[in-house]
Chains A and B, each alone.
Chain A
Amino acid sequence: MEFSTNLLIFSGLALLMMAAAFAAVTTSRIMRAVTYLLFVLFGTAGLYFMLHYTFLGAVQIIVYAGGIVVLFIFAALLIGKGTIDVTHTSNRRYLAGLLASLSGMALALYLINSTDFFADKFSTVGVPMKSVGLALMGTAKHNYVLTFEVLSILLLACMVGAIMIARKK
C-alpha cells in the first residue's frame, strides 16, 4: 500500500519535471524558460523530500529556487525585453542539441542499469540534522570540511570580484 502511494507521488513529480524540462528548452521566451526551470527544481526538491532527505530538499529550494532562479530573472530583467529571446535557431544547432541530450540519456540509462540499488538500506526516518552538521565540518574520512573551506574561498573570491566591478573609481 505504502509502495503504491509512493509510486503515485513519484510519477506525478517525474511527469511534472519532464514536462517542465521539455517546455524550458522548447520555449523561445527566456523568462518562461526560467519559470519552467523553476518547476524542474521544485520537482527535484519534492523527490528529496520523498526520500526523507529534508535538509537536501530545503537546500535545493533555498539555493536554486530562491537564489539561482532569482539571479536568472534579475539578469533577464537587467538585459531588457526582447533582446535575449531566442528568435532563430539553425538546424545544425538543433541537431547538436538533440545529439547532446540523447548521449546524456544514454549515459543515464547505462548508469541506472549498471548500478545496484540498495532498497534495504533506504532510510525512512531521515538523517538527523546533527550528523549532517558534523559531517559537513568534520575532518575524518568521508567528511567535508575541505570542500566546505574551498567553496567558501570561491564564494569570497566571487564577492571580492563583484565589489571590484561595482565600485566607483
Chain B
Amino acid sequence: MFSFNNITTAIDEFLNSVLPAQGALIVECVLVALCAVLAYVTLAIVMIFMERKVCAAFQCRLGPMRVGYWGLLQVFADVFKMLIKEIISINRSDRVLYNLAPYLVVMSSVLTFSCLPFASGLQVLDFNIGVFFIMAASSFGVLGILLAGWSSNNKYSMIGAVRSGAQMISYELSIGLCILVVVILSGTMQISELVDMQRSGWFIFRGHIPAFIAFIIYLIAGNAETNRAPFDLPEAESELTAGFHTEYSGMHFGFFYVAEFMNLFIVAGIASTLFLGGWAPLYITGLDAFNNIMDYIPGIVWFLGKTFFVIWLLMWVRWTFPRMRIDHVVSLEWKYLIPIGLVNLLIMTLCVVMGWTF
C-alpha cells in the first residue's frame, strides 16, 4: 500500500545530501511546522465554509452565495477582513495575559492537531503514548479561555470563562474514559499502531456494543469540549454577548474562532481514528473484490471522508438542538455520562478478558 513515508524519506535524504545533518534537521523542523500550520488553516477555512452551508441547509436557506461561485470565496473575504481589523486593547485589563490567551488556545489546538494520522506516514507526532499525549495537549486549552475571560475586565467574559472551564474540565473525564475503552480493546496507545490494527476491522465493529456506546459518549463529550451547541453556554449570545471572547477583536478573535473550529475537526478526527479506523479502508470479510476496490482509495481520502462525516453529524446536532441550561450540562456529565462510561469500561474489560471481541 502507498505510504507517505517514501516521500518524507526521499526529502530527508535529499536535505541530508545538500546540508550538514544539523542544518537538515532544522530545515525539516521548519518544513514540518509550515505544513502543519498550513493544513491547519486550510482545514479551518474549509470548515467555516462547511458550517455556514450546513447551517443554511438546516434552516432552509442558501447561505453565502454572492462572493465567488456558490459563495466559495466568502470565507477568504472574511479572513482578509479579520486580518486588517485593528487589535484593540482594553482599559484596565491585564495586557500581558490578554494578549497571551489566544496563543495558548491555538497552541493547544495545533499540538493536538499534529497528532492526527492523515494517512500512512503522514503524521507529525507519533509517540508510544499517542492518545495520552492528545489528552494532555488538549487539556491546557482551557487555560487560555480562563485567562481570556479574566484579563478582559468584563463580567460577561468572566462568567463565560468560568462556565467554559467547568464544562471542559468535566467533559474531559468522559473523553478519557472513552479513549480508555479503545486502549483496552487494542492494547496500545500509539496512534500509528491503533490505525494499523484497524486495517483488519474498525474498532467500532470489533468492539461491538461497548465500543459503540463509547463512540456515542465520545461524540457527546466532544461536542461539549468544543463549546458548541447544545453546549455553547460559554458564549451564549443571548445571555453573555459573546462569552470569553467578547472583548477580543481582529486576529485575536480570529485565533479563538479558528481554534474552536479546528477543535471540532480534531474531535472528529480522533473519533474517526479511534473508532472508525483512521485512514484504514473499509473491509468486508469474504468480499475480496470489494476489498480490492477499497484499497485503491488513498488513505487521506478515507481519513478526511470519515472525519468530515463525523463533523457533519456534530453540525447536525449543533443546528438542531436548543441550548441546555448550565445545571443540566453539569448533571448530564456527572450523573449520566460518567457512570455509563465507567460501566462501559468494565463491560469492555470483561469482553476483552473473555475474548468476546472480533
Contacts and interface: CB of A to CB of B under 8 A. Distances in A.
A143 interface: no
Best-surrounded residue of A38, A58, A76, A126 (most CB of chain B within 10 A): A58
Q: Is the interface of A mostly helix, strand, loop or mixed?
A: helix
Contacts of A10: none
Best-surrounded residue of B21, B135, B136 (most CB of chain A within 10 A): B136
A32 B97 contact: yes
Contacts of B21: 1-2
Contacts, number: 84
A4 B96 CA distance: 33
A69 B25 contact: no
Interface residues of B, number: 33
Interface size class, chain A: 20 to 34
Contacts of A54: 127-129, 133
Given A35-B100, A128-B128, A1 B20 contact: yes
Interface string B121-138: 000000111001101110
A40 interface: no
Given A58-B136, A66-B136, A74-B165, A1 B22 contact: yes
Interface string A73-87: 110110000000000
A77 B146 contact: yes
A129 B142 CA distance: 27
A29 B153 CA distance: 15
A1 B19 CA distance: 12
A24 to B, nearest CB: 13
A61 B140 contact: yes
A62 B140 CA distance: 8
Nearest to B24: A1
Contact of A5 (B22, B127, B129, B169): B22
A59 B137 CA distance: 10
Given A5-B25, A31-B97, A74-B165, A66 B147 contact: no
A83 to B, nearest CB: 14
A77 B151 CA distance: 11
Interface of B: 20-22, 25, 94, 96-97, 100, 127-129, 132-133, 135-137, 139-140, 142-143, 146-147, 150-151, 158, 161-162, 165, 169, 172, 188-190
